[in-house]
Structure 1
């Protein structure tokens, strides 16, 4: 078991670049992680890391060893968790990363029924709009869009990640009509910075016929949080480009409506991300299946579609309030 602990400390330290970060993931002290790695090096008879005061770097032997053991270590942990689950049921910490508003609005309400069925599972969730490094940071699952598909990560699509233009009815009533994408030019925009780069992307609108047009809004307000952008749009500050899942709560309360309802931005897929292990821990597999089933029961793939949302909400503005 000492050797297994040493390998676990080595792998996490290699992924995260220092003992302190590995210690946080493993629930140990940095000193304990360092000692476990030193014992492993002594047992193997090779130096795995070059150590500096700020960072670790793998030696040639360390990199070769990491490539050989990392997949086996994850598979072994999964097998051990599943063996325990056969007698005790799924148990232990379930580390999940998900965006702030989306997680609160849609995923947290799905948690109660999961915990009722599997009370020994302990959710440990991180809310952050920035995509995490799933493997290096030790998460079981991440939910969102725009993740880098690094080696060792699997994505399971949940729903389309369309973006739509929205504004308050009062804002639209107090300005020129917006009938085509060209009418966006010069209008006040509430835009969102990329959490990865800090920049605003040049988004391109599409319609069902394949036509494309630039989002030519004036960059009047910049936020890094989609919920804040939705709030500002509801207060009449301008036109926001939001993911459908971020816009829906405001739309269903009648606070904002779609602008150019036949146009949207293709944003890929909203997905579940998890480690590519042949033997996933039972708690992880059951949670993934639970979220997929909740999406199906609540018809979220259709609700998050820009096409369906255009038909149901924008065509009949009073429908969500009847």
Structure 2
């Protein structure tokens, strides 16, 4: 057996290093090609025994309107945008529907911008169905689709590229107050010539494909076992959020409590988004849900939060801040 002294060992290491240094440099024969595309956008976590699949619908960036926040100046809005390391004078909108497997039911909550937007945006938005397929979920296996309100980024994904039913075997569940608002001919007549008129027309386009056969629900309704509706009006008259409970664990699905660039209204809950129909009521609903989440230490799944959109809410001065839930590599 050979005995190596420490000095001999170090000398050998030094000699090897010198040999490497003197060796001729080698280069790769060809550069590795860039992938050029993003990985599928879905993430899974658990609420008790329920399995939640968060599915991104992508991103839309538009020029920041002067009145994006109705009661704050554009300069103040840009300050918060810059503090979040996003481009100023732009509104960056993120969209994140969820699928909840309760063990007995497979439930989709909201459906994204739809495949029309996917084509128009060259895949930047309207990704929900593409990412849903990548996650291994078959739309034909979905038992129920729960809609929080009737804006296009929540209902357009109910239809496929051919305007056929995207979830052919699912019960479609909608807030009764939303149905009353958007399917009422008198309300639509009053909106003629305004930007809101398009929402009436789009609601009728989407739900007309179902022959208007939907299940309407009210505040406090348990939609399926463990998923309960919570009325949070203001953004729209019938806007709903949801309390998801399995065993000792709960989660709030907040839909558009903070819509658009959600972080603006988390930090400044008294700010009023231009798209909120009853702005004062929207502020009340926002504070109600966040104060509930804080008091009960319940995580919040936000439709317009950065993906995967699961966070805890804490008080921060006169507003709130989000603490992203830890990413779990296993379930």
Q: TM-score band (shorter)?
A: under 0.3
Taking CA–CA contacts closer than 8 Å with sequence separation of 6 or more, which of the two structures ends up with the larger relative contact order? 1
Q: What is the TM-score of this pair, normalised by structure 2?
A: 0.24
Larger radius of gyration: 2
TM-score relative to the length of structure 1: 0.24
